């Protein structure tokens, strides 16, 4: 039978519950335990797929095509556990399921209530993850902050599961803030006491406290927190701000959190193996030899979370190339106003990420033209590939009005368009080409050199495709179609001859990059950018 760890958050949001969960997953995995990580999101949307990135941050896509919370990206980057549609559950999904059952008559005339029906559905989802993943330990992160109205049913379900399965099988971790008040020069434990107090009112006594803090926690402070919160002193874990998120598993390991969890569960396992992580990830991330600046030309550049997996993949590419990758976040509308030369001068590479809608597109196209003409390494992702095709059509193939039908439905040259069968689709939620698809790589191309493989599998999230009507003409003008989804003959990768690194893909490689195994498209992109910098 699986054991369960619930991770809750207190005092404020943005304490890094996702990274904490992923790091706990990592230290348990390093002791040869099979883990699975899941996230409960208390909002009523069925999934984040239709939400504005400014509201929600990046939508992370799983292999099986679920549109999920970005914390699942942390889970996959830190551990080997693969997430699926079962690993992200929202209030919307829970109510959807319960109401469908009620309509079918499954409840045999009963009054349907939050307790026990909604909580039963939540517990069933946790057990489902254990069953599907066959994990020994399931870590369930509960979104929001303790005290919020909407996360109450999830906390109640977590409490019930503890009662049902017994103390040896369930552990509660609470992530909390221990602020340092500058004018008083003091660390304050009261917010943590209150937040744990709220949890205890609900019936949950945390077993472990992860204390987010700027300063070291003294022995006395730990003792105080332990006494007031009724948590063993050694289970009061200090989580100080660190330079790299990939240090956190090591921080936990140092405070023997893995041992604390194992002894709570009465589990015995081999000793921890984190040496490689320390050597190949953390040490390299902290001590790079080179530096390179990459321009990310997007639309949601003021929000740190909107391109989360891309930023992380660039960190991984830095680790792989012994370099610090500095990201210059550029709002593509600034390029529309000021011109590419002014905004992009001096950067080592240009990356155009995915996105939706017309705003900012012309600026992205200008940035791509600049990278193509000045021979600056370019990586286009999803919408970035579509923009590269439009740029090529307009400026190389002289199809001046070329566009995507997403932006201009009646365009004269629809180089990016919907497939005929997609035109009938009315619903916006979950109706894109989603999840993993195979892609065949053409021999003797840049893509073949990057991947060293003939067949790859990458994750998708888009509706529009390259229009094959223009393929021959583009080829004649120097574009190479180096990756194809064979079953439906869809273009997956485009590249250019006579350019050091110009490659764009219809999929999202950023979702599969890991700190200890950088995605090759990012690794080679940074390698090319570094080479360009060395020439300066």
Any idea which residues carry the catalytic annotation?
382, 508, 510
Under rule CB under 6 A, residue 364 binds ligand GLN: no
Q: Name the one range near ligand GLN by CB under 6 A: 165-173, 272-280, 310-318, 352-360.
A: 352-360
Instruction: Answer for the pair 227, 213: CB distance below 8 angstroms, yes or no.
Output: no
Residue nearest to ligand GLN (CB): 354
**For residue 445, which of 403, 401, 499 has the smallest C-alpha distance?**
499
Q: At what angle do helices 361-373 and 383-395 cross, to 10 degrees?
A: 70
Q: Name the one range near ligand GLN by CB under 6 A: 5-13, 174-182, 246-254, 354-362.
A: 354-362
Nearer to ligand GLN, 83 or 386 (CB): 386
**For residue 391, which of 300, 302, 499 has the smallest C-alpha distance?**
499
Q: Name the one range near ligand GLN by CB under 6 A: 138-146, 147-155, 461-469, 474-482.
A: 461-469
Q: How far is the CB of 418 from ligand GLN (least distance, A)?
A: 9
Q: How far is the CB of 402 from ligand GLN (least distance, A)?
A: 16
Nearer to ligand GLN, 208 or 313 (CB): 313
Nearer to ligand GLN, 31 or 462 (CB): 462
CB within 8 Å of 210: residues ≥ 6 apart: 20, 173, 174, 175, 176, 237, 239
CB within 8 Å of 498: residues ≥ 6 apart: 478
Q: How far is the CB of 47 from ligand GLN (least distance, A)?
A: 15
Under rule CB under 6 A, residue 464 binds ligand GLN: yes
ω into 183 cis (within 30 of 0):
no
Q: Please identify which residue in the block is written with the tokens 């990459």.
A: 294
- Ranges of beta strands (E only) in 151-309 are 170-177, 180-181, 186-187, 208-213, 236-240, 290-298
Quick one: tokens of 412? 């004269």
Q: Report the residue from 463, 471, 477, 514 that binds ligand GLN according to the rule CB under 6 A.
A: 463
Q: Report the residue from 249, 354, 360, 380 that binds ligand GLN according to the rule CB under 6 A.
A: 354
Nearer to ligand GLN, 103 or 424 (CB): 424
Instruction: Burial-class residue 380 by CB neighbours within 10 Å (0-12, 13-18, 19+).
Output: buried
In the window 75-134, what residues touch ligand GLN (CB under 6 A)? none
Q: How far is the CB of 74 from ligand GLN (least distance, A)?
A: 20
Q: How far is the CB of 3 from ligand GLN (least distance, A)?
A: 37
Under rule CB under 6 A, residue 355 binds ligand GLN: yes
Q: Name the one range near ligand GLN by CB under 6 A: 210-218, 235-243, 381-389, 449-457.
A: 381-389
Q: Report the residue from 406, 458, 492, 510 that binds ligand GLN according to the rule CB under 6 A.
A: 406
Could you say which DSSP state residue 420 is in? G
Q: Report the residue from 382, 415, 503, 521 that binds ligand GLN according to the rule CB under 6 A.
A: 382
What SS3 string covers 46-92?
CCHHHCCHHHHCCCEECCCCCEECCHHHHHHHHCCCCCCHHHEEEHH
Total of chain residues touching ligand GLN, rule CB under 6 A: 11
Q: Report the residue from 351, 383, 390, 399 that binds ligand GLN according to the rule CB under 6 A.
A: 383
Under rule CB under 6 A, residue 492 binds ligand GLN: no
For Cα atoms 354, 357, 361, give the angle at the middle one, nearest 5 degrees.
70
Instruction: Answer for the pair 360, 331: CB distance below 8 angstroms, yes or no.
Output: yes
Starting at the edge strand that comes first in sequence, how are the strands of the sheet with 455-462 ordered?
Answer: 323-331, 290-298, 349-352, 378-381, 502-505, 490-496, 479-485, 433-441, 455-462
Q: Name the one range near ligand GLN by CB under 6 A: 83-91, 116-124, 218-226, 351-359.
A: 351-359
Q: Report the residue from 95, 228, 290, 356 that binds ligand GLN according to the rule CB under 6 A.
A: 356
Under rule CB under 6 A, residue 58 binds ligand GLN: no
Q: Name the one range near ligand GLN by CB under 6 A: 50-58, 164-172, 179-187, 459-467.
A: 459-467
Instruction: Answer for the pair 503, 520: CB distance below 8 angstroms, yes or no.
Output: no
Quick one: tokens of 59? 């939508």
Binding site for ligand GLN (CB under 6 A): 354-356, 382-383, 386, 406, 461-464
């Amino acid at each position: 039978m699986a054991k369960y760890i619930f991770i809750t958050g207190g005092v404020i949001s943005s304490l890094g519950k996702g990274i904490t969960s992923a790091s706990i997953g990592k230290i348990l995995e390093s002791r040869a335990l099979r883990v699975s990580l899941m996230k409960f999101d208390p909002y009523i949307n069925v999934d984040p797929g239709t939400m504005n990135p400014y509201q929600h941050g990046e939508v992370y896509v799983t292999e099986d095509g679920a549109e999920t919370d970005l914390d699942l990206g942390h889970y996959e980057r830190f551990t080997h556990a693969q997430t699926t549609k079962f690993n992200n559950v929202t209030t919307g999904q829970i109510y959807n399921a319960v109401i469908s059952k009620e309509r079918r008559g499954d409840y045999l005339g009963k009054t349907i209530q939050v307790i026990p029906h909604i909580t039963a559905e939540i517990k069933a989802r946790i057990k489902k993850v254990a069953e599907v993943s066959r994990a020994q330990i399931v870590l369930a992160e509960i979104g929001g902050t303790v005290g919020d109205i909407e996360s109450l049913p999830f906390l109640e379900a977590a409490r019930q599961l503890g009662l049902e399965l017994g103390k040896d099988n369930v552990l509660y971790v609470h992530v909390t803030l221990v602020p340092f008040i500058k004018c008083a020069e003091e660390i304050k434990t009261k917010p943590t006491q209150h937040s744990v107090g709220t949890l205890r009112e609900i019936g949950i006594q945390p077993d472990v406290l992860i204390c987010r803090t700027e300063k070291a926690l003294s022995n006395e402070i730990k003792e105080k927190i332990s006494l007031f919160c009724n948590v063993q002193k050694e289970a009061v874990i200090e989580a100080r701000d660190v330079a790299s998120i990939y240090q956190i598993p090591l921080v936990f390991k140092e405070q023997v959190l893995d041992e604390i969890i194992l002894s709570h569960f009465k589990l015995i396992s081999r000793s921890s193996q984190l040496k490689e992580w320390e050597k190949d990830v953390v040490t390299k991330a902290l001590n790079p030899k080179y530096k390179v600046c990459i321009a990310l030309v997007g639309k949601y550049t003021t929000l740190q979370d909107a391109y989360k997996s891309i930023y992380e993949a660039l960190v991984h590419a830095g680790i792989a190339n012994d370099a610090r990758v500095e990201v210059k976040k550029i709002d593509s509308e600034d390029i529309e106003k000021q011109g590419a030369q002014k905004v992009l001068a001096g950067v080592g590479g240009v990356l155009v990420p995915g996105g939706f809608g017309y705003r900012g597109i012309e600026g992205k196209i200008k940035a791509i033209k600049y990278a193509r003409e000045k021979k600056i390494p370019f990586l286009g992702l999803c919408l970035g590939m579509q923009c590269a095709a439009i740029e090529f059509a307009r400026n190389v193939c002289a199809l001046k009005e070329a566009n995507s039908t997403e932006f201009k439905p009646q365009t004269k040259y629809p180089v990016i368009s919907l497939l005929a069968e997609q035109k009938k689709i009315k619903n916006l939620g979950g109706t894109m080409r989603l999840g993993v698809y195979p892609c065949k790589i053409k021999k003797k191309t840049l893509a073949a050199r990057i991947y060293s493989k003939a067949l790859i599998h990458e994750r998708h999230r888009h509706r529009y495709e390259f229009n094959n009507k223009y393929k021959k003409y583009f080829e004649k003008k120097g574009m190479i179609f180096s990756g194809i989804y064979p079953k439906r003959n869809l273009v997956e990768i485009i590249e250019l001859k006579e350019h050091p690194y110009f490659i764009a893909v219809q999929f999202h490689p950023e979702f599969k990059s890991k700190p200890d195994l950088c995605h090759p498209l990012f690794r080679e992109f940074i390698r090319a950018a570094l080479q360009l910098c060395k020439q300066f």
